[in-house]
Chain A
Amino acid sequence: DARVTQTPRHKVTEMGQEVTMRCQPILGHNTVFWYRQTMMQGLELLAYFRNRAPLDDSGMPKDRFSAEMPDATLATLKIQPSEPRDSAVYFCASGLVSGAGELFFGEGSRLTVL
């Protein structure tokens, strides 16, 4: 059963520390998204890759966030330095451009910045 895998599932860190979240999209999927979920803002798009190329990262605070896809099996989201307001659940999702429109979401990485 193909799934999007995210690590870590939970992370507690202190303000100022670097945080890296990883995502393994479903094999063969050519689009990868990072979303952030908070109670106040709901689900927000942070970054979007197609065929490993970044297409849109306008939702991401550029001064501290960066997203990359070093290869087709790994997407990373890095926060440096982290701040308490970054506390949220970060979701990775993958899909096929030519597919039925279904995005497959991972279980999320719950980040708490103290």
Chain B
Amino acid sequence: AQKVTQAQTEISVVEKEDVTLDCVYETRDTTYYLFWYKQPPSGELVFLIRRNSFDEQNEISGRYSWNFQKSTSSFNFTITASQVVDSAVYFCALSEAWSGGSNYKLTFGKGTLLTVNP
């Protein structure tokens, strides 16, 4: 069975601080996909990134960066120079691979509530 653990339930930082959200996963599949989604106060989930299990290269997108470590089954998310608008619940998710792509059957972690204070 697949499992995603986000040990940090809540994190509070002051604007401009860097913050890392942890994600640890469990799966028996050799091919799988990892995701991060953001849920702002408005409620809808917004896709941030997808990573497949064969690509351990770290990724940077603006102030966001992701560190995938297959050896420790972790897929951590770092926000550099956090801003108030980053305040949201962040979900890490895992899906098995299907015919060369994700089948989208996502197993979500419980989420981390990030509050960025001015």
Give me the interface of A with B, judged by CB distance under 8 Å.
31, 33, 42-43, 45, 48, 56, 89, 91, 93, 95, 97-108
Contacts and interface: CB of A to CB of B under 8 A. Distances in A.
Given A101-B35, A103-B45, 4 more contacts: A100-B50, A102-B47, A103-B104, A103-B106
Which secondary structure dominates chain A's binding surface? strand
Given A42-B109, A107-B43, A97 B50 contact: no
Interface string B88-110: 00010001001101111111111
A102 B105 contact: no
B105 A56 contact: yes
Nearest to A89: B43
Contacts of B44: 91, 105-108
Contacts of A43: 91, 106, 108, 111
A42 B43 CA distance: 13
28 contacts: A33-B105, A33-B106, A42-B109, A42-B110, A42-B111, A43-B108, A91-B44, A91-B45, A93-B45, A95-B104, A97-B99, A97-B101, A97-B103, A97-B104, A101-B33, A101-B50, A101-B101, A102-B50, A103-B47, A103-B106, A104-B47, A105-B37, A106-B44, A107-B42, A107-B43, A107-B44, A108-B43, A108-B44
B35 A105 contact: no
A37 to B, nearest CB: 9
Nearest to B50: A101
Contacts of B45: 91, 93, 103, 105
